[in-house]
Structure 1
Amino acid sequence: MPVASGRMELWRRLALLFGVITGLSLFFYVAPAMVSVTAVDWAQEQADELRSISGYVSQEKRRLNQLPLLDYIKEKTGGQLTAVDSSQWTEFFTQVQLASGGQYEGSAYGNRVSDQDKDPFWKPKWPVQVFFKPDEIPWAEWGLVAIDGDEVYVSNTAGGKTSYLLLRYEDYSTSISAMSKPYRVAPDWLYHPYRSLGTGVMAMGLLLYIFLPRRKKQTDDIAYSTGSILAGDLVALILLVPFYGLPFLINGGTVQAITGMWPISAAMWFLAGFCMILLLLGAIYSVQRNHQER
């Protein structure tokens, strides 16, 4: 019985440790890259060349404003404009333009806009970025390079009308660092793709810790009280969560904790190791029992 109960107490704490370690790693994991897509209204862009807060407009901007629209587009894109297959991508262009223009409810991609752009407090300026995973669109075929900040323009002609989109590669593995990230990032369900799973793993570990059966105390047992054992586990858990989780928060993500300020991560994880040992010691103390002599 002591061996069986000892194993159960060990499994109880291993489940909790697995939940915390794996759950926090998944919770803070950041997608390695995104492709942002923004609708482009070239006529409006050309008109905005004359806009200036100070009132001063340079000769270059005046020249651009006077160009024929097609020449203006060619100059602004550097002649690097990729035409897509309208039979495949017309609907994609339409839905992106709706979402990028602020018509979130009317677009299939309304949930792919940054949370900052949806918050009226930040006074978003349309068109806004619409985010996609790299494997969702053929960005490489359209000329985009997997370098943070690389941009390419694509066009689609349907019904005699040409629409334009700006694609931008967002490399979060390089642009996110300690306490710093781009002002606008993908919405949370794309930016933190495993956050819900991580929460579930932590909850499962905690539930297993609570509900795995415990050995019933016998009348002649002399042992640590359940309350004192739980208090020790609680202290270990309270210390473990910040020591293990803060490197993810400080560096901006799970991978970034290793590739970024790793000395801080290593030091804090070293301290977290003592918390793990303290938690596992609880399994030993919880099964230590002596019997009263009759």
Structure 2
Amino acid sequence: MTRSTFFFDPPFTTSGVTASLAKTAKPVYGVLGFVIFITLTLVTIGVGLVAQPLVVSLLGAESPWVTSLTVFVTFLPLWVFFLIFTIRNRRHGSGLTSRGVGRFLLGVVVGIALVWMIMLTLVLFFGGRFTFNAQAFAAPAFWPVAVVSLLVFYVQGSGEEFMFRSMMARFLARRFSAVTIVIVTAAAFSAVHFSNGMKQPLVFLYTFVIGLLLGLLAVTSNSLWLVLGLHGVYNWATGYLTSIFLQAPADPAIAPLATSVAGGVAIVVVVIVLQVTKPGWHREKAAVAPERTPARADEPVVA
């Protein structure tokens, strides 16, 4: 059986617990797939709007745990759905292909490198300065909050990757090329962030650029593991690494611009690597696998 080079194969199915069910399961495309995606998006945004004042009322506005607990509560329903779906589909239905640990760790390395690229961009072009904030580093609450925040940001990042680079991407996979899928999912990813309280044009720009990078890596790595590793540590490091090692410019609008620049450089690097290693990748459709057909005795099966 000839398979697509992208992680959209095998198809996004409603079942898949056994091989026999997987053969007959219908893909979640069309109206059903669209309704599921929109419903999950709206539920996540709605829970976030309710969670913020609830957590503040329980912990107080000055508590260092407010942001972590709010993010966790917001993305918990989506993550539960993600786990249930993954278990029912034996990993592959959600894009969690094999060799996960290595790709996840590579994503962590790429995410940290991206944050250092952003800090370097701020220093070289926007008046930032490398420093060491010993006071923040030595604060009693720093490490407990940092560790919990890292776990929470992985809950958030994996939820967003499931929404956009798994579920939405599969909804588009039958009809569109890899480039179209990357652009559309990045635009949706950016629009959700823009509508969720961060309504500045530069925020839309930098989340779109980061979405392009995540989409490129997810589609062309044949797995979600790489972007799961990248997304969580990126969200965490932009808060914690920058607070320790960077004196940022006074203008808060500069950081999204620097992120867009650094993310754009990373995208160019990824595209150059793809052009060398996978020529024609941008024209290939992330098609679902064809039906299984018996192989002739003289014809080898391509896995």
Shared fold per TM-score greater than 0.5: no
TM class by shorter-chain length?
Answer: under 0.3
More strand by share: 1
**Radius of gyration: which is bigger?**
1
Structure 1 or 2: more helix by fraction: 2
